[in-house]
Amino acid sequence: MNFQWYPGHMTKAKRQMQEDIKLIDLVIELVDARIPLSSRNPDIDELGKNKFRLILMNKSDLADKRQSEEWSKFFQEKGYFVYGLDARAKKGMKKITDIIMEACKEKIERDRKRGIKNRPIRAMVVGIPNVGKSTFINSYAGKAVAKTGNKPGVTKGKQWIRLGKNVELLDTPGILWPKFEDQLVGLRLALVGSIKDEILNTDELAVELIKLLKEKYAGILHERYNVNEDAKEIDIIYEIAKNRNCVSKGNEPDFSKAAILLIDEFRSGTLGKITVEWCGDYE
């Protein structure tokens, strides 16, 4: 199964970001807490190499807490400021301003020495499609200032958002990178919904998800769907179809319907708090 999705507007968006980075003090990078490394665009490091950096691990409410703690340590050791959040919830947003001020304290001190007071921190919000950038901005601003959508590709252009006296945010479109060197990265992005489902084979995606769950979260499929986890992945999906009344014409088990049900329940957190990418696998 080959994963790739790089529509034309992403090239244009990347060029625009290269222009805008000159105006920025801080790069705020949102990653998906379920795939913290695979949801990082490698181009962002090059783009923001001389800037202060903050990684927001979004969708932390859907991720395995123990794994999120390990990933936070991983990024902190590399010199990033890190904070876990659920952008849909308003709580914890006040703390982000404190972290931004802490991350940019050298810049604030330089301004003070030059006699410049109350100049806001200018931050670019970046991340891959469907990671929750616009949702985060709206929660942080306390009002709907950025377009949101439960699918990749909603934000098409840039927009500046002023947040009080201290912070200005630049929202940017979600961009992937032209080629995934590791198809496992593509698989993880597909699982969490950062690649359009219309171009994916969801039957195969569900099989890959079951392989991962059997390895990392033994028992979770049996508990949720009352299936035999020792069976082959394809047989497990048919079993889910029978147990969840996913049937086609003629009352036959509908494999594709069950596959989509499984993927949806994983993405929504109904299946449990699951991290697809484990920090320990990289050590």
DSSP state of 4: -
**Is 134 known to sit in a ligand binding site?**
yes
**Is 135 known to sit in a ligand binding site?**
yes
Q: Could you give the CA distance from residue 110 to residue 107 in angstroms, rounded to a whole number?
A: 5
In the block, residue with structure tokens 């290269």: 18
Sheet holding 52-58, edge to edge: 81-84, 52-58, 26-32, 121-126, 167-171, 159-163
Cα-based distances in Å from 100 to 23, 191, 263:
16, 31, 35
**Is 79 known to sit in a ligand binding site?**
no
Per DSSP, the chain holds a count of helices (H) and strands (E) of: 11, 6
**Is 174 known to sit in a ligand binding site?**
yes
**Is 130 known to sit in a ligand binding site?**
yes
**Is 251 known to sit in a ligand binding site?**
no
Q: Is 282 helix (H, G, I), strand (E, B) or coil?
A: helix
Q: Is 135 helix (H, G, I), strand (E, B) or coil?
A: helix
Instruction: State the angle between helix axes of 233-243 and 255-268 in degrees (0 to 180), rounded to the nearest 10.
Output: 90
**Is 157 known to sit in a ligand binding site?**
no
Length of the chain: 283
Q: Could you give the CA distance from residue 279 to residue 18 in angstroms, rounded to a whole number?
A: 30
**Is 131 known to sit in a ligand binding site?**
yes
**Is 194 known to sit in a ligand binding site?**
no
**Is 254 known to sit in a ligand binding site?**
no
- Which residues, in sequence order, are CB contacts of 152 under 8 Å at separation 6+? 128, 129, 130, 174, 193, 194, 195, 196
- Interstrand relation of 159-163 and 167-171 (parallel, antiparallel or unpaired): antiparallel
Binding site feature residues for GTP: 58-61, 130-135, 174
Annotated binding site: 58-61, 130-135, 174
